[in-house]
Amino acid sequence: MHEPLEEVTLVGGGFAPGLLERFVRLEVAPGPSELETSCIGALDCHATQCYPHEAVAVILLCGVDLFFRGKLETLLPGHHLVTTDNVDEPELVIADIARIDAEEVADTYPDVPIVGFTNHTDTAGLRAAQTAGFDQVLAKSALVERVGPIVQELLGEASPS
């Protein structure tokens, strides 16, 4: 019970400490108008998070469950994944076709690239998303395999060398 505490680094690679690490160390996160010197240079600061310059994009998730959101966060490191209750304007939308109205999403974000996914057996949902004008429509398993290149292509990013 009375063992000495051991310091564990939560964030590696020289990046500024994230919100969780600050919480553990009982530090106060800087406000939106305060810029940390550790974020200047190769990082962009957005609220209390810092991201590498090359990969930051606001990606709106529509109808995506928490489990699959975690998987997308792992597959799209550096991107800022948000839900509809966020104020950031999305640069890309990823929608679970089985849980949303494809027409409504397409009408709400007419100038934003939209990627739709669903179970491979949901052919009606896949057709509805194509008809609504989604930029990419694919089965969930295909999205998991190719989400990085698809996001790069739709955001117009150069592929890493």
Domain spans in the chain, listed from the N-terminal domain onward: 1-51, 57-155
pTM: 0.64
Instruction: Specify whether the CB–CB gap between 68 and 94 falls below 8 A.
Output: no
CATH topology (fold) of 57-155: Rossmann fold (3.40.50)
The stretches in the chain having pLDDT less than 70 are 1-55, 87, 157-161
What would the pLDDT profile of 77-121 be if each residue is shown by its tens digit? 888 899 877 767 899 999 999 999 999 999 999 999 999 999 989
Please count the other Cβ atoms lying within 10 Å of the Cβ belonging to residue 126: 21
Instruction: Specify whether the CB–CB gap between 116 and 136 falls below 8 A.
Output: yes
How confident is the model at residue 159, as a pLDDT? 52
